[in-house]
Amino acid sequence: MTVLVAPDKFKGSLTAAEVADVVASAFAAVVPSEPVRRLPVADGGEGTVAAAVAAGFRRVPVRVSGPTGRRGTAYFALRGQVAVVELAEASGLSRLPGGLPAPCTASSHGTGELIAAALAAGATSVVLGVGGSACTDGGAGMLTALGARLLDSSGNLVPPGGGSLTLVSTVDLSGLPPMNLVLASDVDNPLLGPNGTAAVYGPQKGATTDDIALLERGLHRWAELLGPRHATTPGSGAAGGVGFAVVAALGARIRPGIDVVLELLDFPAAAGEARLVVTGEGSLDAQSLHGKAPIGVVRAAGNTPVVALAGRCLLTPAACRTAGFHAVHALSDVDPDESRCMAQARTLLHLCARRLAREWSTGPAPVEVAG
């Protein structure tokens, strides 16, 4: 029997793989005879490709366009005929030159280039993980990279970005390749309206009130042309409307990101061979209960007890128990200063993990959940 370490990232401090390494090293220091398997996870957003690579997928580099057109190297993961593509690799906020937002002109074109490269490499099934998008173009840029043509009333190609969608008069999808695509997302926002992608996520991408109004008009026009019924699909607002495009134009299915990732990693089988699963994320809070990685891990772990290590835990003990955690340990219990917790996450996590390893060195520890 092993200890299975399956954390998500501690955002702003440690990647999921780094969290797994720290926890594994703590167990090795306390109980060196204990077999530990590292299986970092993700909820479909940033870190999804890294999780796939850690599980045995091959990392493939591709030169693609960033959200403002600047070329750079991005990666997808490939194993057999299954590819994992991460939108943030090509079209994420981290790809904005100088970090300067471009809410009306940023494009998802690079994501389409990644998908095209995966298909060219022999993939017949593509998992697209979304999160951290810099664009609100309804997935138009992604579709053009895959062979679609967007024309204005004069027959000219429409410029990239959500701000140009009001100009679209004709959409030609005849050049799109056939594919089996699954969108992995934890977002259930629709495309349009007060809960839609422009209104909810536009400000995070630098959009002003006027920008949001322009983007909303463009997305309305885009929905009219591609299929209004898909605009209300939960998750169609994911990644600036990429969710809408993959459903309306590519026939994709939208599934909870953590469920898709855990299936790719064959997590249930790994958990079944473990005596303990250690998961976690930077902030274990009310949002975690709605499809985030630690909850997905608990649900997929079967009868194997799951302990969470978190930067902070904002859930009550009762909520932690109801969620299924055997125990929860937070870095903030060691040092309540949030800035120090983030700056010294590696050291504090190692301390928490050593404590956990001591508690479990002779068998299951008593149920203990922190608030």
Q: What is the CATH number of the domain that holds 78?
A: 3.90.1510.10
Q: Are 6 and 146 part of one and the same domain?
A: no
Residue 371 domain flag = no
Residue 366 domain flag = no
Q: pTM of the entire structure? A: 0.90
Residue 370 domain flag = no
pLDDT at 367: 58
pLDDT tens digits along 203-240: 999 999 999 999 999 999 999 999 999 999 999 999 99
What separation in angstroms does the CA of 30 have from each of 351, 356, 362?
Answer: 11, 10, 11
Residue pLDDT tens, the chain, 371 long: 799 999 999 988 999 999 999 999 999 999 999 999 999 999 888 899 999 998 899 999 999 999 999 999 999 999 999 999 999 999 999 999 999 999 999 999 999 999 999 999 999 999 999 989 999 999 999 999 999 999 999 999 999 999 999 999 999 999 999 999 999 998 899 999 999 999 999 999 999 999 999 999 999 999 999 999 999 999 999 999 999 999 999 999 999 999 999 999 999 999 999 999 999 999 999 988 887 899 999 999 999 999 999 999 999 999 999 999 999 999 999 999 999 999 999 999 999 999 999 999 876 665 566 54
**Structure token digits, residue 295:** 């909850």
Q: Are 221 and 311 part of one and the same domain?
A: no
Q: Are 281 and 320 part of one and the same domain?
A: yes
The residue type of 185 is S
Q: Are 238 and 200 part of one and the same domain?
A: yes
Residue 365 domain flag = no
Q: Are 319 and 303 part of one and the same domain?
A: yes
Residue 153 domain flag = yes
The residue from 258, 278, 301 where one domain ends is 258
Residue 253 domain flag = yes
pLDDT at 186: 83
Alpha-carbon distance of 347 to 258, in angstroms, equals 27
Is 289 in contact with 28 (CB distance < 8 Å)?
Answer: no
Q: Are 61 and 195 part of one and the same domain?
A: yes
Indicate which CATH number applies to the domain containing 37.
3.40.50.10350
Q: Are 300 and 174 part of one and the same domain?
A: no
Cα torsion through 66, 14, 48, 330, rounded to 10: -140
Residue 367 domain flag = no
Residue 133 domain flag = yes
Range of the domain at 317: 2-41+266-359
Alpha-carbon distance of 89 to 114, in angstroms, equals 9
The residue from 206, 239, 258 where one domain ends is 258
Q: Indicate the number of domains in the chain.
A: 2
Q: Are 36 and 122 part of one and the same domain?
A: no
**Structure token digits, residue 318:** 């009762």
Q: Are 71 and 165 part of one and the same domain?
A: yes
The residue from 202, 229, 258 where one domain ends is 258
Alpha-carbon distance of 254 to 245, in angstroms, equals 11
pLDDT at 365: 61
Q: Are 338 and 296 part of one and the same domain?
A: yes
Residue reference for tokens 């493939």: 60
Q: Are 307 and 233 part of one and the same domain?
A: no
Q: Are 6 and 106 part of one and the same domain?
A: no
